[in-house]
Amino acid sequence: MPRYKATNVFPGVDLFTLRHGTATDGYTVTVLINGKDSTGSLARAEEVAAAVEAAGFTPGIQRYVRPDVADFPGAEAYMVRVGLWPLKKKAAAEKVVKQLRKADIPAKVDYLGDDGFKTTGPWNIQILMIDARRFRGTYRTTLGRSTGKRETTSAMAKQAGAIAAVNGGFFSIRAPRNFSGDPTGISVVGGRLLSEAVRGRTAIVLQGRRARITELDSSVTVVAPDGSRAKVTGVNRIPGADELVLYTEELGTKTPRDQGVEVVVDARDRVVKVREAGGAVPRGTRVLHGTGAMAEWLWSVAREGAGMRITTSVVDLRTGRRIPLTPDTYIMGGGVGILRNGRQYITAATDGMASDHMILRRHPRTLAGVTKQGSLILATIDGRDPGVTVGANMFEAAQLMKWLGARNAINLDGGGSTTMVVKNKVVNRPSDGAERPVGDALLVVPR
């Protein structure tokens, strides 16, 4: 039977700590089939298995089927595995990996609780239930002190005086340091668009104490003094070739120095300065940054003192309506939709996570859901801790949120990012062993 502890942390906000299951999984050795990939076709698996047998080991070929999700068809695949050891015998599996590598056969130790197949757990889950009828605070998102630098969830929660917080959506961790916290989807903080949407990706929209989950698109358009128009393709991120990117004062660093052209625009949409790329964003201004063809366009149309009108809109693709960007509007482009209208609806391809590794294998997860009554549910599932907690795959994450009463739900960033903070204390066990700095966070605040 599940074991749980319930704690009231604020009027209308309850924390549940749930532990369930027992550790029965052990270790195996998985042979890599295609580079770093551990799965492949039957023909490729048979070829690899023959090489393993020639090296003096007894391989097994394991077939599995990843089920369909809403926008990504299921598939059959095969793995080559060697041996089976109990939880306390990991060293024996590691020894086999070393022996295989000496034979030029790449392999890894695999904990069977992680692979997404049948398991008995255990699971360690933290759940925040925020009752729409009793809670009198508000919801917000934050990118911390700047859009590009990463901060811990607990630091962002403390800055805002939050009752509770969870880490937010996926971010550009491999970008240059000052841009590594840039969200990979939409971000609106206090009505200001700080990161553009990827059309059709799932997001959570927060307005006061109201929350809903939907799919969004955003657009930013510039109208030059001569009446010509251009589309802004990015906000507060590294530009590509022939792009027009908008930087806001929340950037917190200098814009990229890339041979482009920049136009500094004040709060009245008047051009303050035309300059070479690579400078600060002065308080009260925005900077249009052009590369290639868009640099040439900026240079040809912008002049100091002239108007350079910038318009922004965010559209709810379920309703076709614009979302008013008022000071109490906060939007987080979390990651993968997992529930829609009370049913499992996993949008892995649309949301950029279409792989067996992301869909089927178990990882730590951070989840957000909204009930039919409008209550908000935040949950973290710890993982990557063999014998203690196995995490969840996307199917299991959807099942959990449905069981908790969510009608719509989203999978936020997970893995080492998964963090829940309550009253300035981290209440889960981040799998990195310490709290990871992340791009943004979802906050529950008392006012």
Collapsing DSSP to helix, strand or coil, 166 comes out as strand
The answer to whether the CB of 380 falls within 8 A of the CB of 125 is yes
The SS3 call for residue 146 is coil
Assess if residue 313 is contained within a domain. Answer: no
pLDDT of residue 37: 85
Q: Name the domain boundary from 252, 282, 307.
A: 307
Q: Exposed/middle/buried for 324, CB within 10 Å: 0-12, 13-18, 19+?
A: exposed
Q: Say whether both 97 and 169 belong to one domain.
A: no
- Note the pLDDT of residue 1: 65
Nearest Cα neighbor of 130 from 375, 367, 330, 366 is: 375
Same structural domain for residues 188 and 155? yes
Verify that 332 and 438 share a domain, yes or no: yes
266-272 mean pLDDT: 97
On whether the CB atoms of residues 409 and 395 are closer than 8 A, the answer is no
- Quick check: 300 pLDDT over 70? yes
For residues 89 and 201, state if they share a domain: no
On whether both 88 and 150 belong to a single domain, the answer is no
Q: Which of 54, 84, 114 is the last residue of a domain?
A: 114
The verdict on residue 397 lying in a domain is yes
Q: Are residues 198 and 341 in the same domain?
A: yes
Give percent of the chain above pLDDT 70.
100
pLDDT of 214 higher than 90: yes
In a domain, 219, yes or no: no
Lookup: tokens for 211? 């929350």
* Residue that is last in its domain, among 83, 114, 145: 114
In this prediction, residue 283 carries a pLDDT of: 96
pLDDT confidence band for 36 (50 / 70 / 90): confident
Give domain status of residue 425, yes or no: yes
240 and 205 belong to one structural domain:
no
- Nearest CA to 144 among 175, 181, 190? 181
pLDDT band of 21, cuts 50, 70, 90: very high
Residue 302 has pLDDT above 80, yes or no: yes
- Residues in CB range of 345: below 8 A, 6 or more apart: 70, 337, 338, 339
Do 148 and 245 fall into the same domain? Answer: no
Q: Are residues 206 and 231 in the same domain?
A: no
Q: What is the pTM of this model?
A: 0.96
Q: Is 141 within the bounds of a domain?
A: yes
pLDDT in tens, 66-105: 999 999 999 999 999 999 999 999 999 999 999 999 999 9
The closest of 174, 41, 175, 70 to 398, measured between CA atoms, is 70
Give me the half-sphere count of Cα atoms (radius 13 Å) on the Cβ side of residue 90. Answer: 10
pLDDT over 80 at 313, yes or no:
yes
Interval 372-421: pLDDT, tens: 999 999 999 999 999 999 999 999 999 999 999 999 999 999 999 999 99
Which residue do the tokens 């599995």 mark?
64
Examine residue 93 and state whether it is found in any structural domain, yes or no.
Answer: yes
Domain count along the chain: 3
Q: What pLDDT, on the 0 to 100 scale, is given for residue 241?
A: 97
285 within some domain: yes
Task: Note whether 328 and 420 are same-domain residues.
Answer: yes
Is residue 21 included in any domain, yes or no?
A: no
Residue type, 418: T
Q: pLDDT class for 34, splitting at 50, 70, 90?
A: confident
Give the pLDDT confidence score for residue 4 in this predicted structure: 87
Residues 292 and 347 in one domain: no
Domain residue limits at 142: 3-15+123-214+323-445
Same domain? 275 vs 292:
yes
* Cα 187 from Cα 263, distance rounded (Å): 23
Show the CA angle centred on residue 323, arms to residues 319 and 327, nearest 5°. Answer: 160
Q: Which whole number is the average pLDDT over 310-322?
A: 98
Find the mean pLDDT for residues 292-311: 97
**pLDDT single digits (tens) 139-192:** 999 999 999 999 999 999 999 999 999 999 999 988 998 999 999 999 999 999
